[in-house]
Each structure stands twice: as structure tokens, then as C-alpha cells.
Amino acid sequence: MSVAIRRLGPNDGERMRALNALFETVFGDSASYGRDKPGDEYLRRVLGRDEIIALVACAGDEIVGGLVAYVLEKLEQERSEIYIYDLAVAETHRRQGIATALIGELQGHAARIGAWVIYVQADYGDEPAIALYEKLGAREDVMHFDISPRA
């Protein structure tokens, strides 16, 4: 089956909602992806920003994978990094190179804008994700902390 990768833009609110539904299913996280869904104007504004990258993998009209990444402009040097925040492939379409194709498309975009690195985190125990990322890049063991925005 052929899969096409495309970047979402400001008029792709419905596709972004479908991608969020895929994330909800794959991650089992209805609290983050199933409630308080963004409105049309919000999606139009955010998907229109250059530093927001939402890619989908489509098999016909069905979204079978996708990623959301953010371009981060740095201040220590004139350069940027790209952080992959979400990456998922529908269970029925795994092991077909879709995640690798999504990251490959992101690598092309990173090269075009002159980003110096793409980075992603994986949870301990998520062996398929860890294997994919180790195949594509160098592993760094770091600690991740969530800090509340409230004092």
C-alpha cells in the first residue's frame, strides 16, 4: 500500500483533528487528545506558523501516521533545533517504514531551514520507539522534568 506524506497547513483543521484522534488512540491518552479540542480559528492560526510542523502519512484518505514537531530558535548561536513532540503510526500500519518516512520528511525540512539537529524523547520500555530512534540517531540518556506553570 502506498502512503503519502504531507505537511498540514492553516486549512487542514479536520486533518489535524484526525491526527489528534490517532494520537489519542495510539497513546491511550484521552485527557490530552480527547477533551478541550481546539477550535477552527486556533488550528488555522497555529498550523499557519512556520515553526509548527504537523506531518501526516495518508493511505488514500485515511491518516495512518503523523508527527508534530516544533522549531526552536536558539540564542547561544544563530541556529535552530527541531523537537519531535508527538509521533505515532496506527497499529494496523506499523513495521512498514511509515515512522521512518515521516522523520525523513522532517529531516528534509530541517535541512532546508538550516536546523542543526532534530531531537525526540522516548519512554523507558517503549522498545519499538527506542529501536527506531537508535537506528536514526545518537542516543543521549537524559532526565525529563515537568514543572508546573504555577508558583
Q: Give the closest residue to 57 by CA, choosing from 101, 113, 120.
A: 101
Q: Give me the pLDDT at residue 22, please.
A: 96
How far CA 84 is from CA of 39, 54, 61, 79, 122, in Å, comes to 23, 10, 24, 17, 10
- CA–CA separation, 103 and 89 (whole Å): 12
Q: Give me the pLDDT at residue 34, please.
A: 82
pTM equals: 0.86
The torsion angles phi and psi of 76, rounded to 5 degrees, stand at -75, -25
Q: Give me the pLDDT at residue 120, please.
A: 81
Residue by residue, DSSP assigns 88-117 as EE-GGGTTSSHHHHHHHHHHHHHHHHT-SE
The share of the chain scoring above pLDDT 90, in percent, equals 68
Is residue 24 within 8 A of residue 44, CB to CB? The reply is no
- CA–CA separation, 41 and 134 (whole Å): 38
Instruction: Give residue limits of the domains in the chain.
Output: 4-136
- CA–CA separation, 91 and 136 (whole Å): 21
pLDDT tens per residue across span 95-137? 999 999 999 999 999 999 999 999 887 666 666 666 666 666 6
Cell numbers linked to 25: 488512540
Please provide the CATH number assigned to the domain covering 4-136. Answer: 3.40.630.30
Tell me what the mean pLDDT of segment 5-33 comes to.
94
pLDDT bucket at 39, cuts 50 / 70 / 90? very high
pLDDT of 151 above 70: no
Cell numbers linked to 112: 532546508
